[in-house]
Amino acid sequence: MKKVFAILCIIGIAYPYYYIFKFIETNNWEWSTSLFFEQINQNYAMSILNADLTIAATSFFIFLIYRFRVKAISKNQFIKYLVSLFIVGFSLALPLYLYDNYEKNN
């Protein structure tokens, strides 16, 4: 199972960044924050995905704070998960957390 989580970490970096690359390419190699947020909420389908991901990432963030406060994860682990959540996204942060905390029950 750890191999699956490791593969998901790699995909969790590559897949979102592929689309960021495509967004920048489509906009003449220029980043536009206003255009990004305009397009991300352009229709109800995108708004559904945006809301779902926002709630999932926020829940994970609160969970990390809780785990840190009860000393279930170290300060370095907490920082690692926060950086992965806010620099890459939930697509890396969750598989990384699962990879680090997976234990075989066999």
pLDDT range class, residue 37, cuts 50, 70, 90: confident
Say yes or no to pLDDT of 94 above 70: yes
Sketch the domain layout of the chain as residue ranges: 2-101
pLDDT range class, residue 106, cuts 50, 70, 90: low
For residues 62-69, give the mean pLDDT: 97
Token pair 């305009």 in the structure block, residue: 38
pLDDT range class, residue 99, cuts 50, 70, 90: very high
- 3-state SS class at 72: coil
What are all long-range contacts of 11-18, with beta carbons under 8 Å and residues at least 24 apart?
Answer: 11/91, 12/88, 12/89, 12/91, 12/92, 12/94, 12/95, 12/96, 13/88, 13/91, 13/92, 15/91, 16/88, 16/89, 16/91, 17/88
pTM recorded for the entire structure: 0.87
- 3-state SS class at 87: helix
Share of the chain above pLDDT 70, in %: 97
Say yes or no to pLDDT of 49 above 60: yes
